[in-house]
Structure 1
Amino acid sequence: MSGDAAEPLATIAASVPNVPGDDATASGLPAPGDLSLRDRVVVEVSAAADVVVRTAASTLLAATVTPFSVGRTVARRERDNLGFYAELGALHDPERSFPRPTSMPTVRRKRANHVAQAVANGPVEALAFDSPFEAVNPALRSFWKTLDRNNVAHAQHWRHADGPRPTLCVIHGFLASPYLLNGLFLQLPWFYQAGFDILLYTLPFHGARASRLSPFSGHGFFSHGLTGVAEAMAQAVHDFRIFVDYLESTGVEQIGVTGISLGGYTTSLIGSVDDRMKVVMPNVPVVDIGALVQQWFPASTMVEAGLNWGGIDREISDGSLAYSSALNYQPLVPKERRLIITGLGDRLAPPEQSLRLWRHWDRPAMHWFPGNHLLHVSQPDYLRRMTHFLRDNDFMPDEWRSNNRARVSPPKG
């Protein structure tokens, strides 16, 4: 890697606590007793902080799912349709669960705002298209068509003028859709300056896809009940694949995907649906929403009330959630091209979720850091791990190939 490309990471390393993590062993993540005293303290403090954040997030989620819990219309829709997703998911067939897009809509392009240009320090475009997605369940198709803003897909594209380049697609987490937030949090300017193009993808019901009356970005993802979650995930995969089609139409030959939290959930699923991904890197991923919500009080109480109110069997609700989980399908991206990143102190998407994905994926590379969901202590360390992983999979810009220093690890803080 050239000195110029390495300088941004040096700045990152100086501003983010650098308490190194490590790769998982053959037996998985380290037990608390295996950690150094320093790492145990960092993990425990991080976990305590995450519990506070989790409670606040759960309270917000509880308010989001209240209509699902008490509304007769939504409860009836859940009772009549959840079995559809449970039965479809039970086939474990990604082609049937997530059909390929059958048309290529016109992707509209316009210059992004000045802030985006300044953050990337290069040309940035706002992309959008009218989504041709139809609800997987025919019974919901007329309803889904009424969600006008959600049915326009959005992304931000950081590209080099001499492109196309290997493109890293990035998927945000629940609530966390702003491009600027993701660009800075995930250190995307460094990846861009190192030579990659970047595509920041907006999940359904987030950002510009949220309805005008949504109290916050992402509200609609859960407010339409579990049927809505299933269809939102189906649309997330569908629209993402159209953006991949678009990138390929511009000449991009190498495409990878990473995502954080709910974006990690989506990233993992994409690795089981689309074999065009050169690399798949879920970061602090969720893989079992049902199990996770049971740990999130008071949202767990509201969801349980909704199931009881609608007379919905727990097995059916769990089956409907399994429909959109990577745990329900075999990965299409080869093992050596999968990397999982997890935080030992994470209590919003606990490391047990990453461990389940790791085992399901036949124990690929997994790197842990001692921080939590929001404070990625040792981020410079796992950025170095990602850099080595990308290089080892020949997913790299030409600068890395032509520069002998590309084999040198980015500097430590």
Structure 2
Amino acid sequence: MLERLRRIRSDGEKSATLLSDIPVGAMLGSVPRSVGFGVRSYVRSLRAERRNYPDMPTVFPTPGLVSAAFLDELVVAFMSTGRLSPAPADAIRIRDEVAEAVGKFRAEAFLDDPTLFHPEPPPLTDPVVRGKLYGTIGYEQLAFDSGYTPWPGIPGATRWQAAGANQRVWAYVLRHPGKPRPWLVNLHGFGMGRPSDLAAFRSARLHRDFGINVMHVVLPMHGPRKASRTQDAPFVSFDYLGNVHGLAQAVWDVRRAIGWARHQGATAVGVHGLSLGAYVAALLAGVEDLDCVVVGVPSVDMAWVMSHHVPDDVEREVRAAGLLGAEAEAVHRVVSPLAVTPRVPVERRFVYAGLADRMATPQQAYRLWKHWEEPSVCWYRGSHIGAMWNRQSRRFVDDALTSSGIGRRNAW
């Protein structure tokens, strides 16, 4: 009980800090955007035959749903503060780096075949493993050197590699002793990457009831890998080469962790990604042989994310600097899930998305769903930040693991 109270107090303090960091104008702007979402949803529900996405269901905007959308808008406002507001000098630097990088990518044929940008990493055989405890959850903490090195000649590589803490990879593991079992790799969302993810993903329940081993790999610049404030290596921002290096390293690191799981005797490997982790999982499905891939509330177009969430007061400047056009799409193509063909069979691809999602928006999931040849999909009534607590999405993930053979309730 004391541990629970400490967590509640900590979460409250974090929420207060988050709200205090949001400019008043951005916070107030969340209100009309949420109301606008409600109005548009209501109109779409009345004009089903004229929808832009006829395969995606409409949702009637109840007060609870609009409130959930408002919370999404608040988080977007917080994330946009600073991260999506580059200084004029930085905007010019980014523009020049993007032009140089696109030329390099084109010369190396990475734009024609983005899988060439993601070489197979060396095997991981000797991570440091220590027993840890999070609340009542006992887990193993893995640590190993990433070994990721950007391609020669790509701008921003030196800046990215200078973030020393990021070169050490961490993973949180729940393993059963005895005979080999299936493994599920969970990939967290933006701002996560701590042992608390074990609880957020319900990993202890899956580990116990489904009889599987579960591993959480910390993505670059998250959790204990987060760079200090004195290090300039942003990830998921207008510093586009940081996005490219971050996503490329994420795929590299997760592939090494999966290789280690297979070395431990994994009988099958599935990947479940949420939000940013869903982006990585969808990209990973195009370069790695997996037995199952589940993506939740995904964004799959990084250039769209920047354009959609750029603050109104800086949009003109970043557009004038050429950061919202074709070059932005081109530089992100080498790390785009929409530019690679999934190697996972269509019957083992799964997508779920919230119809009130104001961060990724369900249209992003729709694009991936179409690109993936319309696999099993769950359109739940809810927002982005509510994905992990929504009963419908939780049940969908359980069914996905069962139908793909990753786990079966009480099978062990």
| Structure 1 length-normalised TM | 0.78
The CA deviation at 1:261 is: 0.8
Instruction: Tell which deviates more after alignment, 148-157 or 327-336.
Output: 148-157
Measured at CA, do residues 272 and 249 of structure 1 come closer, stay the same or move farther in structure 2, by a change above 3 Å?
A: same
Equivalent residue number for residue 193 of structure 2 = 177
Match status 1:31 vs 2:58: yes
Deviations for 1:231-257, whole angstroms, at most 9, x for unmatched residues? 111111011100011111111121111
For residue 386 of structure 1, what is the aligned residue in structure 2?
A: 397
Any conservation in 1 of the 2:98–2:327 contact (CA below 8 Å)? no
What secondary structure does 1:342 align onto?
A: strand
Contact 1:134 1:144 in 2 (8 A): no
In 2, distance between residues paired with 1:353 and 1:91? 23
Residue 201 of structure 2 corresponds to: 186
For the 8 Å contact 1:68–1:74, the answer to whether it is kept is no
1:293 to 297, 306, 325: 306
Q: Which residue of the partner structure matches residue 115 of structure 1?
A: 134
Matched with 1:59 is: 81
CA contact (8 A) 2:99 2:327 kept: no
How many angstroms does 1:307 deviate by? 6.1
1:265-287 per-residue CA deviation (whole Å, 9 max, x = no partner) reads: 11111111101x11100010111
Shift of 1:401: 3.9
Work out which of the residue numbers 161, 165, 173 in structure 2 matches 1:157.
Answer: 173
Compared CA separation, residues 214 and 207, structure 1 to 2 (3 A):
farther
Contact 1:67 1:74 in 2 (8 A): no
1:376 to 1:174, Cα distance in 2 relative to 1, 3 A? closer
Give the whole-Å Cα distance in 2 for the aligned partners of 1:131 and 1:67.
Answer: 31
Q: Which residue of 2 aligns with 1:132?
A: 147
Task: Identify unmatched segments of 5+ residues in structure 2.
Answer: 1-52
**Structure 2 Cα separation of the partners of residues 223 and 348 of structure 1:** 14
Map Cα deviations across residues 94-137 of structure 1 (whole Å, 9 max, x no partner). 1x12111145463111122x226x23xx4x11111112211034
Q: Could you say if the C-alpha distance between residues 53 and 69 of structure 1 is closer, same or farther in structure 2, counting changes exceeding 3 Å?
A: farther
Which secondary structure does the structure 2 equivalent of 1:204 belong to? coil
Unaligned runs of 5+ in 1: 1-25, 403-413
> Structure 2 CA distance, aligned partners of 1:393 and 1:325?
25
Show CA shifts across 1:73-105 (max 9, x none). Answer: 5554334224434664521341x1211114546
SS in 2 for 1:212: coil
Residue 98 of structure 1 corresponds to which residue in structure 2? Answer: 118
Aligned residue-pair number: 357
Q: Taking structure 1 as reference, are residues 230 and 387 closer, same or farther at Cα in structure 2, changes over 3 Å only?
A: same
Counterpart residue number, 2:98: 78
**Deviation string, structure 1 residues 353-387 (Cα, Å, up to 9, x no partner):** 00000011110000121111112387223322222
Residues 346 and 372 of structure 1 are in contact (CA less than 8 Å); yes or no, is this contact kept in structure 2?
A: yes
Measured after TM superposition, the shift of residue 27 of structure 1 is: 5.2
What SS does the aligned partner of 2:144 have?
strand
Change (3 A) 1:377 1:77: closer
Q: Could you tell me how far apart the structure 2 residues matched to 1:142 and 1:289 are?
A: 22
Q: Report the equivalent of 1:248.
A: 262
Query: Could you say what secondary structure the match of 2:81 adopts?
Result: helix
Residues 306 and 53 from structure 1, CA distance in 2 versus in 1: closer, same or farther, beyond 3 angstroms?
A: same
Choose which of 29, 48, 56 in structure 1 pairs with 2:70.
48
Paired AA for residue 278 in structure 1? D
Contact 1:105 1:129 in 2 (8 A): no
Q: Is the 8 A contact 1:172 1:259 kept in 2?
A: yes
Q: Which has the higher contact order (CA 8 A, sep 6+)?
A: 1
SS of equivalent residue, structure 1 residue 292? helix
- RMSD of equivalent CA atoms: 2.9
Give the fraction of aligned pairs with identical amino acids, expressed as a percent.
24
Report the residue type matching 2:195 in the other structure: Y
Is 1:200–2:235 an aligned residue pair? no
